[in-house]
Structures are given as C-alpha cells and as structure tokens.
Structure 1
C-alpha cells in the first residue's frame, strides 16, 4: 500500500501530539500533573504509536511505545515522576520531533532502540537510584538524531492548518454570491447602463468586506499555538545556567494573525533567553540581595483596541542606565555630549543597537550583542513597537505592541514632496498643525515645543530626499507618535486622508531603506511606501 500520500497528514497530527506531550511533561516536573494529565499524555503517546505503526515507521513506533509504557507505570502508581523522569520523557519527545521532521523531508529514520531501552528500564528502582544523582548526564538524554530543522522555523509552502468547516462554508457562500454580482456587473456593462451599476457595486463592496473578515478569521490563531514551546526552553536554559525560575504564560487564548505569530516566534526566544541569562540571578545572588531564591519570569498577552500587547517581565537584577551609557560610549555608539542629552528611556533603547552587549563574557546563551537588535528589527518590520522599563535590582519589563493583522491596515496617507506615503494609524497618537516658529533647531535636529516639552521631529520630505516647498508662514502638519513612551513627531507637507491598504513586504535591496516597513498598491496602480515612525525619529537617528 502506498502511504506516501498520507505523509503530510501524519506529520501535522504527530506534531500536535508531541506539542501536547511536551507541555504536559513540564507539568509533571512542576508537580501539577494530576491523574487526568497523565491519562491524557498516555492517550497522545498511544495515538502517535498507532499512527506510526500504520505508516510503517518503525523507529517512531518503537520509541512512542516505550514512552507509552513509562506513562502506564506512572498512571498505575508504580512511581511518581521526578525531574529525572521528566528529563527522560523530554529526551524521547525531542527525538520523536526530530524523527517526524525527517519524515516530513522524506529522509531515512535512524534507529531509536537505545533510547527506547533506557525508557523501558526506567522503573521504580531506577527512580530511587536516581534520587541521589537527579541530574542525568548529557549522554543519557542525547537525542537519537540530530535536528533536521530549527525548532523555531517559519512556515513553508507545505505547512497546513486546520480551519473550522463552518468558516469554510461561509467562504464558499460569499464566493458564490460574488460570482453572481460579477455576472450582474458584466450584464449591465454589456448593455451600457452605467447608471444602474450603483446597486450591484454597493452589494459587491459589502460582499468583499464580508469575505475579507471571514478570511481574516481563518488566519487567526491563539497565541498558545506558539507559546507551548517556551516553558521547555526556559526550563532547559535555567538548568544550564544553574538558576531556579518559575515561568508563567498569561493570555494564551488571545488570537493574532498567523503572519504576526510567525514573525514574533524568534523575537520572543531572544527576549526570554536574555531574561534568563542577563536578567535573573542565581539562587545565591538572589538570597544575598534579600530576594527569594527562585526567580520569576512571565510572558503575558492582552488586547488593546486593534493591537495586541506582549509583555516579558522578570524580577531580576534590572538594567543599569549608567552602565549602558558607559558601554555605549566605549563602543563608539555615541560621544559624551550625545550620551548626556539622552533621556532614561532612550538610554535603555541603546541595548537594541547592533553589536551592543553589556555581558562580561560570551556564552552559548547570549552575550554577542545581536539579540535585541534582531528583536527590534523584527517588530518594526510588522509595524509594531518595543518599549523597555527597568529598575536596577527589581527587574525589567519589555513590552511589544503589535498589530492584530499585517495584511490589511488603516493608514493615513501623506504627501512628502513628490512622494505619497502611508503611515499606519495604529502608530499615530494624534495629529496637529503648527506655525514654523513653534519648531526650534539644535544643530541638525528639529524639535517641536509643546506644553514646555521639546519633542524630537523628523522632517520627512528632507529625510526621503524630497524638495521642500513650504514657505516660512505656512501651517505645518505634524503626526505625533511614541518611541519607548517618549513622544516623537513626523513633519509632512500635507495630510491626504485615511485609507485601508493591503500591505506587501519589501524585497532586497528595498529592505535596506531606513524608515520604510513595507509597501502597498493603490487603485490607480501607484506604489506607496509604508512609513515606520520609530525608525525615522530619534536623537540617535541622523539624516540620510
């Protein structure tokens, strides 16, 4: 029997089983795994074994069967799972994930008998023996196969997702109605009765709006669909660095567009790794500072209007602005005078500079100065913003403000010289019109005087190398936004009104354009660039 045509379905379902098994295994170590959780783990292992046997995938069948036997012993009360047991279960899950990845690529599966044998020999007696040496050696838990692909991979052309049948039914219905309206329009056009096109055009607009909303719903996924991998990662990093950490995730039912979720997987990896390595202290250091020995790390998600807020919070050592400023000067990122002019919030954002790191040594976890730069670039690419709050000795909070969807957004269209640009409405806090005498210049930097505060400005026509045509007595329109809770402004020639646009990603070499996050195509065929305000404005951002 040819089973190759069922491969994609097997891979998809196997990954779901393994994701759940990994999440429930973490509960075992935390002591939160009750009999229902053990029973659920057993069912997933049993299902995976049956699927693999049907597909004639011997190594996966053997290993999942051994894992099923181990869970059966725990379920029947022969012994309770400890950290040593969890290490063994996670090693099995890691290896199974790698084997499934090889199945997806059509590769040959290596033997899994050795690890399966160790799992079967993990009896109550073995558990008692492990109590004196609860930490297995690396060789004991080494996976049977090297990873065939990165765990934090983006989706590819063969990736699949499950969609509710009711949603598909609605999409089919709307598509059929759109076809009917199209035929109506064609009929009226053929008879040159243009005045009678208004009604079908209005109906067409309504149906297109419905179709757009339904398609968006089909792309929405809960944050938990990517969050299940993070507890395991934090656990492994904590053990490697000799730290005790409790990690909590809140709001994992909040839904985001699949495109947004895929773009934030790796930024969150960097943020959590930095929190474990740089932020949180060892138990001895925490006790010396009067803190409990176990550190706290959390990842929370919440909705705010048409945006989603992701917050990574820890109660570690925090960030020292003076140390960051000194390090930035020593690395040549800015001079003494520039450093003195920076606000506290701007100093914290220096950690997002390429190559910047305050780590004394480079480890395999962090310290190379690339993590926060990657985070900021990724967040700005999808039209989001990053905010940092930190108190030395009390921890840090890094907040990501993201759009729910990156496909269709509301934008304010503006004129800058001969260019027409789009600025996401979600990035704008307000707009205003000012006289030229309300703008002051310090060197090459412009500032708006507003309520006694100097707000950094960026002259967009000049920034994008356009000719300036405004007279000295002209009224100047300004878009106000925020960068790390600090107000910033964009000076433009004219405001043209709001419009809903379909965003398109940039490709090389356009990705090197500073201040531009994407593009869109207008109805008249004109290409319009989408502006990222935070990438344009700032005291550290010099003119092109």
Structure 2
C-alpha cells in the first residue's frame, strides 16, 4: 500500500495532537490530578503512535510509544505528575515536532531518537510514587479509557463479540486511510475476525458501501465507540453485540441494543484549495468592477439588473469562502502557555498568562503569519518585562507577574491587546541608544514624546537589554514583528508606564485578500486606502482650516486634527490653490486622529488585493495593488508607514 498520499493528512493531524499535548502538560502542572486532562493526554500520544506506525514512520512511533507508556503511569495513578516530568515530556514533544517537520520537508530531523527515548523513559524514576490506595481510588473514580493497549487478546479470553458498521463520509479526501485507521484501532482493542470488504480493498479506498467488521474483544461497546469516534470523517458508527451461536441456541438471548453515533458533518479541506478559491473569487470581484464600467457606457436596464444580481451573488460567495478560511484565534494562542511556562521556569520567574476572546475569528493566512510574531512579543513580556519575584515584592507587587492577551472585534478588524504588569520601558534609555546608533539626532529625540520613543524598539538593531540571552536582547525580532503586521495591512502601537508595565496593541484586518477600500484622487493618480483605516471623510472650506504647531489642522468635534497633504507625502505636483473646498480623510496614527488632504473622494468599492513584487514590495507606504474596472492598476496605501 502506497502511504505517501496520506502524508499531508498525517502531518496535519499529528501537529494537532502535539499541540494538544503541549497545552495539556501546562494545564496539568497547575492541576496534576485532573483526570480528564490525563486521559486526553494519553489518547493524543496513543493517536500519534498509531498514525505513525500505520505510515511506517518507526522513529516517531517508537518515541510516541515511550511517551505513551510514561503517561500511562499517571493515567493508572502510579505516579504523581511533577514539573520535572513535564520538562521531560515537553523535551520529547519538541523532538517529535522536529521529526514531523523533517517528514514534511523530506529532510533528516537531526534528532537522536534513542537518546531522547531513553531520557523520556527516566520519567518512571521521577516524582512521588502514589500510595497503594491511591491507584485504586483513582482507577475507581476515573472514567474508563477508550484506548486499549495494543495487541489482540486471545479469542478465548474475549468477553464480547461485536458487529461494527462504519460509514466513511463521502466527502472524505482519503477514504482508504480512514477505513484503514478503523481497522488498526479495532485491532488494538481485540481481534478482527472478518472485514467487508477485505483489507486490501479498504486500503485502496475501493468501497462504496459501509465497512463491516467483526471483533472479539474484552472491551465494552462504549469503549470501542469512543475509540473510533476520534477518527475524523466518519459519517456514522454502528456497534451491535453478537451472541455466540451456542449461547443463542441454549438461552435464546437477544442481541444487545446497538450503540450508534453520527459524527458532525465536517470535512478537512486543503488550504491550497481554499487559497485558489479565494483567488478565483478575487478575479470575479475585478470582473464585476469591469462590468460596472461597461454599464456606464451602455444604457441598458437589463445589463444593470444583471450586474446587480451578479454583484450580490459574488458578495455572498466571497463571504462564504472567507468564512471557511476564518479560524478562531484560539489556534494562535494555544502555543503561548508553553512559551510562558518555559521562559518563566528557566529564568526563575512566576508568571500567569490570561487569554480572552479566543473565539474571535481571523483569516487563516493572518493566523499563520502572526504565529511567530506573537510568540516573540510574549517572550519579550516574560524575559524583559516581568521582574524576578524578589524584585516584584520589593516594588510592592505580587510575586507572580501577569501577562494578558485580549482579542476583540471592532468593525472589520481584529484588535489584539498584549499587556504585562512588569517594569515597563525606559524611554530615556531608548532615546540614548537611538542617538548613539545615529537613528535620531539629539534635537529630534528631544522633540519626541515617550509614545513616539517606545515604537523605536521596532527599529532594526535597537535593543536596550543589559545582556544578550538565548531568549532576547540581540536587537532583532520586534522589527520583524512590525514588518509582519505592516505586510498584512495592520498597525502596531506601544505604550508603557515605568514600574507598571507595557501594552502592545495590534490591529489586523479580518482578511488580506479581498477588502473594502476608499478610492481617492491625488494629483493625476488614483490610490486606495483600506476602509478599516478610515474613520470618516469630509469636505471643508479652506477658510475653516487652523494652524497648530506650524501645521494646518481642522477642528473636528472640539479636537484639533493635524493635516497631511497627500500630494507632498506622495511627491506629486503641487495642488491648484484656487479650489475653495478641501477633501479630507480622517484616519488614526499612534492612537491620534490625523487628516489626509486629497484632491477628491472617488468612492468605496470591494478590491482584490495582490501582493507587490520586488522592488515595489520594499517601497515604504505601499501594501499591495488592485485593478479597477477600467483596467488601470492602482496602489493600496499603507497609511501608518507612509506618514
């Protein structure tokens, strides 16, 4: 059986299980007696072992099997979970992640499997051994695990003869893999005496009808049901207890009631397929704009009606495709508890991580792009921000520091607030470093307020760390974070209070592919501004403008808003001073309102944003390009980096 076609599915599901193990380990450190977490931990390790063995990845199977054995000590109550055990399991987990990455990239992982397996095995010598009474109490109180140790029991010892009917979802990408996993799981629970169709046809995916298995096992129906329910893309599972023929004749007993479950109607979809689909929808958006331009030239009610109908359908299609690509930020946050735990343990700090708004959704592309930047921010919070317990006590703070991540939805953007209650940022130290490195002159540095200074930590090579560690302090990282946020059309802002902590605010669009934009005229050019950057637009009499700190400004709701001429910013020819009215786009920069003076407001439309190629991709203030209905190509402006 050629297993290579199942590789992508294996990698995807293995990563999910490893992420789950990481989260559960951190949770168990806080609550070592959480039986539900212990059972889930064991099941995840068991699943990785089973999948790896089925695929022929023996090193992954061997290491995950050893981890499963060690986790079984806690499942059976023979050991009390400890921080030292967590360290070893997480070390094994890191090795598994490297091995999975090696499989994905078809490269050697560089992991010494025998060494790490032997190290994980030392868990049995760690921590307190539970009393004789404790295992019994735990086993009696804990729910029976749905996982049964590998190796079929003898038929004579089997208590149950089960008839199992499984229907693989018609939408399953690899039905043969799903059917084969069912067979493997059943084989671990007992002896599969027959299958319909035969195993070779199941492996090839050559079946149209539900799969039927006969199993002799010492496990009960509920355990088998739970065992199979962890396999994705099974439409239904039906289990009946068969009575042995002799017993039927003698006792006339009826078969037990069937246990039947129906899985949720979900299916795994290739991310490449979703990307292609969103690109097709994007081209349709561009075509719709072209049709609208054509409608202006041809006075046809039928054409206008057709355009309206098509526009409505394209919008609905876009929303549906986008909803499929949307992913809860939970997947972005899941790896952070491990990051906080490792750095705090290594540095001798006590840190609590709180996460709010996990159910807020973002485009999968943004989730993937933000994974590493968010980890870097959290590492900085713990390494630079949070003080040692003795220092916090001296400052009148609780010994345990607090890092909070809050996700919230605001219009068509998601806001991530990352805060710590640590020492804060020393603005004067940043000023001094910036002057030393030639980033700022003394005159310019003196004229900047602290908030303008804080954002300089995102400047390449600027670090105020007193010593370089393997965690941070090399002056790299925050510039990459800001570049990632900027590349997605987002914005990053930093605020801090010495002795009280630091807050980082990241604003991200819901999607980076198709967005609403405001078209504006600047000189002879048309440009696009993402609508999520626009607070409002207005036209004012030139005579109504004010002057503030040698800059033109406009009074807006009793607030003096400074103005920037987009002609000057973009280097266009000077404007004609004869115009009486001035068009202004109000946006935000560093949490302050600013006004962009443009020559005209063209209108709002949906735009398919295409990335820029070199050298334009390195041009400051441009985030992409889009095609108008008349075929002209215009730039999408990155306002925060343009001003």
Shift of 1:499: 1.2
- Out of 347-356 and 50-59, give the one that drifted further: 347-356
Instruction: String of CA shifts for 1:130-175, please: whole Å, max 9, x gaps.
Output: xxxxxxxxxxxxxxxxxxxxxxxxxxxxxxx99965899xx99xx9
Q: Does 1:112 align with 2:107?
A: no
Q: Distance in 2 between matches of 1:488 and 1:357?
A: 30
* Residue-by-residue CA offset, 1:252-295 (whole Å, 9 max, x unaligned): 22110112112212221221121112111111211111112211
Once residues 343 and 112 of structure 2 are traced to their aligned partners in structure 1, the CA distance between those partners, rounded to angstroms, is 28
Residue 453 of structure 1: CA displacement?
6.0
Q: How do 1:501-520 residues align onto structure 2 when only pairs under 5 Å count?
A: 501-520=607-626
Matches of 1:54 and 1:376 in 2, distance apart? 43
CA distance in 1, matches of 2:314, 2:34: 49
Among 626, 633, 638, which residue is 1:527 paired with? 633
Shift of 1:422: 0.5
Alignment partner, residue 15 of structure 1: 15
Cα distance change, pair 167–524 in 1 and its aligned pair in 2 (3 A):
farther
SS in 1 for 2:613: coil
Q: Distance in 1 between matches of 2:535 and 2:438?
A: 33
- 8 Å Cα contact 2:66/2:117 also seen in 1: yes
> 1:183-202 alignment to 2 at 5 Å?
196-202=302-308
Does 2:218 align with 1:217? no
What is the aligned counterpart of 1:450 among 555, 558, 561? 555
Separation in 2, partners of 1:102, 1:79: 33
TM-score of the superposed pair, with normalisation by structure 1: 0.82
Mean Cα deviation higher: 429-438 or 252-261:
429-438
Match of 1:37 in 2: 37
Q: CA deviation at 1:121?
A: 3.8
* Secondary structure, aligned partner of 1:270: helix
Shift, 1:222, TM fit? 0.9
SS for the counterpart of 2:126 is helix
Deviation at 1:536, TM superposition (A): 2.1
Q: Tell me, what secondary structure is at the counterpart of 1:405?
A: coil
Partners of 2:626 and 2:317 in 1: how far apart? Answer: 20
**Equivalent position of 1:188 in the other structure:** none
1:411 and 2:412 matched? no
Q: Which runs of 5+ in 2 are unaligned?
A: 130-231, 234-263, 292-297
Instruction: Kindly indicate whether residue 430 of structure 2 is the aligned counterpart of residue 430 of structure 1.
Output: no
Could you state the TM-score of these two structures normalised by the residue count of structure 2?
Answer: 0.70
Matched with 1:73 is 73
Deviations 1:99-158 (A, max 9, x none): 1122222345766233223333422x43249xxxxxxxxxxxxxxxxxxxxxxxxxxxxx
Q: For the residues of structure 2 that align with 1:393 and 1:18, how far apart are their CA atoms?
A: 38
Detail structure 1 runs of 4+ shifted over 6 Å in the superposition.
161-164
1:195–1:509: structure 2 CA closer, same or farther, 3 Å change rule? same
**Which residue in 2 is equivalent to 1:154?**
none
Q: 1:126 to 1:276 in 2, by over 3 A?
A: closer
Going from structure 1 to structure 2, the CA distance change for 1:441 and 1:313 (only over 3 Å counts) comes to: closer
Contact 1:53–1:61, Cα closer than 8 Å, also in 2: yes
**SS of match in other structure, 1:12:** helix
**Pair 1:89 & 2:89 matched:** yes
Preserved contact between residue 79 and residue 128 of structure 2 (Cα < 8 Å): no
Distance in 2 (CA, whole Å) between partners of 1:535 and 1:304 is 22
What SS does the aligned partner of 1:122 have?
Answer: helix
Superposed displacement of residue 81, structure 1: 0.9
How far residue 436 of structure 1 moved from its aligned partner, in angstroms, is 4.4
* 1:207-252: CA deviation from partner (whole Å, max 9, x where unpaired): 2122111100111111112221121122222223332211122222
Larger radius of gyration: 2
Matches of 2:449 and 2:112, distance apart in 1: 59
CA shift at 1:75, angstroms? 1.0
Instruction: Provide the C-alpha distance between the structure 1 equivalents of 2:87 and 2:634, rounded to a whole number of angstroms.
Output: 53
In 1, the alpha carbon distance for the partners of 2:115 and 2:590 equals: 52
C-alpha offsets along residues 152-207 of structure 1, whole Å, 9 cap, x if unaligned?
A: xxxxxxxxx99965899xx99xx9xx9xxx9xx9xxxxxx9966445444332222
Q: Go from structure 1 to structure 2 and tell me whether the alpha carbon gap of 1:441 and 1:315 turns closer, same or farther (over 3 Å shift).
A: closer
Gaps of 5+ in 1: 130-160, 186-191, 538-544
Work out whether 1:204 is the aligned partner of 2:310: yes
> Which whole-Å deviations, capped at 9, do the CAs of 1:306-344 have from their partners, x for residues lacking one?
211111110100123333333333333323332333233
How far apart, CA to CA, are the structure 1 residues paired with 2:479 and 2:357?
Answer: 26
Q: Map Cα deviations across residues 22-46 of structure 1 (whole Å, 9 max, x no partner).
A: 1101112222661011101111111
In 1, Cα distance between equivalents of 2:548 and 2:35: 69
Matched, 1:319 2:319: no
1:481 equivalent to 2:587? Answer: yes
CA contact (8 A) 2:411 2:532 kept: no
Q: Give, in angstroms, the shift of residue 63 of structure 1.
A: 1.0
Counterpart in the other structure of 1:4: 4
1:424 CA displacement: 1.2
**Residue 309 (1) aligns with residue 415 (2):** yes
Structure 2 residue corresponding to 1:256, chosen from 331, 353, 362: 362
RMSD over equivalenced CA pairs, Å: 3.0
Could you tell which deviates more after superposition, 511-520 or 194-203?
A: 194-203
Q: Distance in 2 between matches of 1:166 and 1:121?
A: 40
Which deviates more from structure 2 when the two are superposed, residues 510-519 or residues 27-36?
27-36
Q: Do structure 1's residue 494 and structure 2's residue 495 form an aligned pair?
A: no
CA contact (8 A) 2:32 2:82 kept: no
Distance 1:391 1:121 in 2: 46
For the 8 Å contact 1:458–1:536, the answer to whether it is kept is no
- Equivalents in 2 of 1:368, 1:75: separation in Å? 43
Q: Structure 2 CA distance, aligned partners of 1:71 and 1:315?
A: 36
Contact 2:493 2:590 in 1 (8 A): yes
- Corresponding residue of 2:506: 400
Displacement, 1:62?
A: 1.1
Closer, same or farther: CA 217–102 of 1 in aligned 2, 3 Å: same
CA–CA separation in structure 1 for the residues paired with 2:576 and 2:30: 65
Output the CA distance in 2 between the equivalents of 1:424 and 1:221: 22
With over 3 angstroms needed to count, the CA separation of the structure-2 counterparts of 1:32 and 1:16, relative to structure 1, is: same
